[in-house]
Amino acid sequence: MESREYRCRDEGEVPAPRVACFETLINLSTYARWWTLVEVTPVGPHSRLHAGVHFRFSGARPGGQRFDWSAQVLAVEAPTRIELAYTGGEYVGRTAWELAELPNSTLVAYVYRGVRANSSKAADHFAQWGTRLHTVAMREDALAGLARVFGGPGADLDDDVWRRDVRRRVAAGVRALEIE
C-alpha cells in the first residue's frame, strides 16, 4: 500500500485541569459523549486505556464513506501522553494524545506521528484531503466536544442539538476544503 506517512498536530484548549482531561481520554466509555463522528469501541473487557489495550475506530464525515481501523495503546504517561498505534483496517502508524497544562486550562493535542493508508480507500482519501479533513474534524468535533464536556462552548446545548451542530460545522469545513 501507499508508503507516504502523514503527520499533523491538531490541538484545542479545554477549560479543565490536565488530570481531568487525561482521565476522560483514558476512559473509552466517555468518547461517545464528546466525539460524535467517530465510534470508539474496546476490543475485550478493558474500556480504560493502558499499554496493550486494543480498540476500534469507525467514523465518517457528514455525507462521506465510513472508515474502520484498529488501534493499540503503546504507552501511557499520566497525565501528559497516551501513545497509540493504528494497527490495521484503513490506517496504520503512530498517533498520540498529548496534554499540556496551561494556567487555567489544558492544551489537548491529537498527533499523527506517521500514519499511512492501509487500503485503496484510505489512499484515495489521503490523496484528496491529505490531513486537512482530519484537522477540520478534530477541531469541530473531538476537541470541541471535549471542551464542551468541561463547560466550554456548546455546554448549554443538549446532545442532539450539539451533534447536529457538529455535523453542520464539519460539513461547512469540508465545503471550504473543496473550494481551496
Instruction: Tell me how far apart the alpha carbons of residues 35 and 3 are, in angstroms, rounded to a whole number.
Output: 29
Calculate the average pLDDT of the chain: 95
Residue 83 near residue 76 (C-beta atoms within 8 A): yes
> How many CA atoms lie less than 13 Å away from 144 in the CB half-sphere?
19
What mean pLDDT do residues 31-50 have?
95
The pLDDT assigned to 61 comes to 85
pLDDT digits (tens, 9 = 90+) for 108-165: 999 999 999 999 999 999 999 999 999 999 999 999 999 999 999 999 999 999 999 9
pLDDT score of 1 more than 60: no
Cα distances from 165 to residues 69, 154, 168, in angstroms, run 26, 9, 5
3 state DSSP class of 47: coil
Distance spanning both ends of the chain, measured CA to CA: 27
Looking up cell 498517533, which residue turns up? 95
pLDDT score of 71 more than 60: yes
Instruction: Tell me how far apart the alpha carbons of residues 121 and 66 are, in angstroms, rounded to a whole number.
Output: 10
CATH 3.40.50.2020 for domain 6-179, yes or no, is no
Q: Sorting pLDDT into bands at 50, 70 and 90, what band is 31?
A: very high
| pLDDT > 70 in the chain, percent | 99
The pLDDT assigned to 30 comes to 97
Domain positions in the chain are 6-179
pLDDT score of 62 more than 90: no
pLDDT score of 2 more than 70: no
Is pTM beyond 0.75 here? yes
